[in-house]
């Protein structure tokens, strides 16, 4: 991804660096910036936290880990039936075959959408999410409306995401209440027979691997 | 704990609201909190379950009106002071005034990639057989522990079916209060929408939770 020029007026743009604003001039700092800076100073100065580890953690989860990993797994499953079977039977070592794994994905479970059943993943108690395949969760996934409603009215939630399924399709909700992390294997869209793995992966949205979306159709790419 | 975190089935929050560009972090302080919480979680003074328990211990009104990383920050501040790693005055002022306390480990920058790529598996061997089998009907116990638990309120007392037996894992209820990992068998249990929410439940819907063995009882 090309790096955009830094815009000093846009403090929320997604490409800012770990140090940009918290360590800028003091007059710009919010009360929360000051509060966190004080805590960080204490923890670093007392020797509990290595600043290099902080930078590495932030960089890893801000830039390296993301849904492109999950999309690769889905595309591989669409073209390789044996890989699909292994992924559904024992996801953790199967994802390792394509170099995907680690913190937040130690015990992966992949659930497959079919014409009869659609899967939806939530964590009602906190924010459990399969980091190695999808990265850090979006805010809505961690927020009360989704956590409260996904288990009691999943069809209504899906409709808000623009996903309307036939009444005959069962909805399977997976509440991540332990250290098992779920990823949805969506159905391969029609009209994709000519696409290679990379072309297929480009159709796999993050939401389609949570269950709140469906893969893009070819020609409808954003 | 029946706290603000146990959200399944609550009503009145309004629509799910995805953000237009979905930034991973909304302000510089959020990413610092993320990094600090992850790093201190490996200090050996507490564990992931304890951190979840600290977040859940916020009063429900405060939990529900705090942003995600604000909850993390408040819990981390409490953990740091409760474990004697810093005083309230120190974290309020940003100035060290008391000697450092020992920690088991200080995560180094070069350790992050190999350690996080390997992950932190929580499966543990157990030399007793699983009590329940796939296909068996079970009831989620009615429990209301004052401490950490991973059995959500909306399934307590409800009857479901064991879908899978995953092996034995660290038991969060014990691990969170630093009382040992006390591994237990872990199951996936499926509940029908009607069993959880009554006759007006959306048709054709089922919810599966991961449940530790002591959360479940056999149907008589």
Chain B partners within 8 Å of A51 (Cβ): 109
- Return the CATH number at B44: 1.10.472.20
Q: Are strands B137-140 and B205-212 parallel, antiparallel or unpaired?
A: unpaired
Is 70 exceeded by the pLDDT of residue A2? no
- Return the CATH number at B153: 2.30.30.50
Contact A103, B130 (CB under 8 A): no
Q: Which two tokens stand for residue B106?
A: 């200080």
Report d(CA A143, CA B67) in Å as an integer. 8
Residue A130: is it exposed, middle or buried by C-beta count within 10 angstroms (0-12/13-18/19+)? buried
Q: Name the closest residue on chain B to residue A206, using Cα atoms.
A: B22
In a domain, B7, yes or no: no
Q: What is the largest CA-CA distance in chain A?
A: 60
Numbered ranges of CATH 3.90.330.10 in chain A: 67-210
CB contact under 8 A, B112 and A176: no
* Residue A123 among the catalytic residues: yes
Q: Is B106 in the same domain as B146? A: no
Is the interface score ipTM higher than 0.90? yes
Q: Pick the catalytic residue: A25, A27, A30, A123?
A: A123
In a domain, B10, yes or no: no
Q: Name the closest residue on chain B to residue A20, using Cα atoms.
A: B28
In a domain, B13, yes or no: no
Q: How far is A168 from chain B (nearest CA, A)?
A: 7
* Residue A127 among the catalytic residues: yes
Beta strands in chain A (DSSP E): 108-112, 117-122, 170-175, 181-185
| Exposure letters B4-24 (e unless 16+ CB within 10 A, then b) | bbbbbbbeebeebebeeeebb
Candidate from A41, A102, A140 with C-beta closest to B16: A140
Q: How far is B114 from chain A (nearest CA, A)?
A: 9
Q: How many CA atoms lie within 13 A of A4 on its CB side?
A: 8
Q: What is the dihedral of CA B31, B49, B6, B215, to 10 degrees?
A: 160
Q: Pick the catalytic residue: A25, A27, A41, A126?
A: A126
CA B26-B27-B33 angle, to 5 degrees, is: 105
Q: Name the closest residue on chain A to residue B184, using Cα atoms.
A: A178
* Residue A176 among the catalytic residues: no
Contact A181, A129 (CB under 8 A): yes
* Residue A126 among the catalytic residues: yes
Beta bridge mates, B77: none
A211: confidence class by pLDDT, cuts 50, 70, 90: very high
CB contact under 8 A, A16 and B8: no
Candidate from B17, B39, B208 with C-beta closest to A175: B208
| Exposure letters A63-88 (e unless 16+ CB within 10 A, then b) | eebbbbbbbbbbbbbbeeeebbebbe
In a domain, B8, yes or no: no
Is 70 exceeded by the pLDDT of residue A14? no
Candidate from A36, A160, A175 with C-beta closest to B33: A36
How many beta-carbon pairs below 8 A join chains A and B?
279
Report d(CA A73, CA A94) in Å as an integer. 9
What pLDDT score does B153 carry? 98
A128 known ligand binder: yes
CATH number corresponding to A67-210:
3.90.330.10
Report d(CA B136, CA B15) in Å as an integer. 37
In a domain, B5, yes or no: no
In a domain, B72, yes or no: yes
Beta bridge mates, B218: B138
In a domain, B126, yes or no: no
Question: What range defines the domain where residue B211 resides?
Answer: 137-218
What CA–CA distances, in Å, run from A58 to A62, A113, A116, B16, B34?
6, 33, 40, 27, 7
A41 known ligand binder: no
Q: How far is A194 from chain B (nearest CA, A)?
A: 31
Average pLDDT score over chain A? 90
Beta bridge mates, A29: none
CB contact under 8 A, B14 and A56: no
A123 known ligand binder: yes
Report d(CA A45, CA A185) in Å as an integer. 46
What pLDDT score does A29 carry? 86
Q: What digits encode the pLDDT tens for the residues B169-204? A: 999 999 999 999 999 999 999 999 999 999 999 999
Q: What digits encode the pLDDT tens for the residues A93-138? A: 999 999 999 999 999 999 999 999 999 999 999 999 999 999 999 9
Q: How far is B133 from chain A (nearest CA, A)?
A: 18
The one-digit pLDDT tens for each residue of chain B (220 residues) are 999 999 999 999 999 999 988 888 999 999 999 999 999 999 999 999 999 999 999 999 999 999 999 999 999 999 999 999 999 999 999 999 999 999 999 999 999 999 999 999 999 999 999 999 999 999 999 999 999 999 999 999 999 999 999 999 999 999 999 999 999 999 999 999 999 999 999 999 999 999 999 999 999 7
A25 known ligand binder: no
Domain count of chain B? 2
Residue B148 CB neighbour total at 10 angstroms: 23
């Amino acid at each position: 991804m090309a790096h955009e020029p830094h815009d000093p007026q846009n403090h929320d743009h997604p490409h800012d660096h770990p140090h940009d604003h918290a360590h800028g001039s003091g007059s710009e700092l919010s009360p929360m910036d000051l509060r966190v800076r004080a805590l960080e100073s204490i923890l670093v100065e007392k020797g509990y936290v290595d600043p290099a580890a902080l930078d590495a953690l932030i960089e890893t989860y801000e830039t390296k880990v993301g849904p492109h990993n999950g999309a690769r797994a889905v595309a591989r499953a669409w073209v390789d039936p044996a890989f699909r079977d292994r992924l559904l039977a024992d996801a953790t070592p199967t994802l390792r075959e394509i170099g995907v794994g680690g913190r937040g994905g130690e015990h992966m479970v992949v659930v497959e959408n079919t014409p009869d059943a659609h899967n939806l993943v939530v964590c009602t108690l906190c924010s459990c999410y399969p980091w190695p395949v999808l990265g850090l969760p979006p805010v809505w996934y961690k927020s009360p409306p989704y956590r409260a409603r996904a288990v009691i009215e999943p069809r209504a939630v899906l409709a808000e995401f623009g996903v309307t399924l036939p009444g005959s399709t069962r909805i399977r909700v997976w509440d991540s209440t332990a250290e098992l992390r779920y990823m949805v294997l969506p159905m391969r869209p029609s009209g994709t027979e000519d696409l290679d793995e990379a072309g297929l992966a480009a159709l796999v949205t993050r939401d389609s691997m949570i269950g709140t979306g469906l893969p893009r159709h070819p020609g409808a790419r954003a | 704990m029946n706290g603000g975190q146990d959200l399944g089935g609550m009503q009145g929050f309004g629509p799910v609201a995805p953000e237009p560009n979905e930034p991973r972090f909304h302000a510089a302080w959020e990413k610092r909190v993320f990094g600090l919480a992850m790093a201190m979680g490996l200090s050996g003074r507490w564990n992931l379950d304890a951190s979840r328990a600290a977040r859940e211990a916020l009063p429900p009104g405060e939990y529900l009106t705090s942003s995600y990383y604000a909850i993390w920050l408040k819990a981390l501040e409490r953990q740091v002071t409760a474990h004697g790693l810093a005083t309230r005055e120190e974290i309020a002022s940003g100035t060290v005034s008391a000697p450092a306390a020992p920690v088991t480990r200080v995560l180094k920058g070069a350790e992050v990639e190999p350690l996080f790529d390997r992950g932190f598996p929580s499966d543990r061997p157990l030399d007793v057989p699983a009590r329940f089998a796939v296909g068996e009907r079970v009831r989620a116990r009615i429990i209301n522990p004052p401490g950490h638990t991973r059995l959500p309120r909306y399934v307590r007392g409800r009857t479901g079916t064991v879908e899978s037996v995953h092996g034995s894992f660290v038991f969060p209820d014990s691990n969170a209060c630093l009382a040992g990992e006390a591994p237990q068998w872990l199951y996936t249990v499926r509940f029908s929408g009607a069993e959880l929410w009554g006759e007006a439940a959306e048709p054709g819907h089922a919810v599966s939770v991961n449940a530790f063995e002591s959360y479940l009882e056999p149907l008589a």
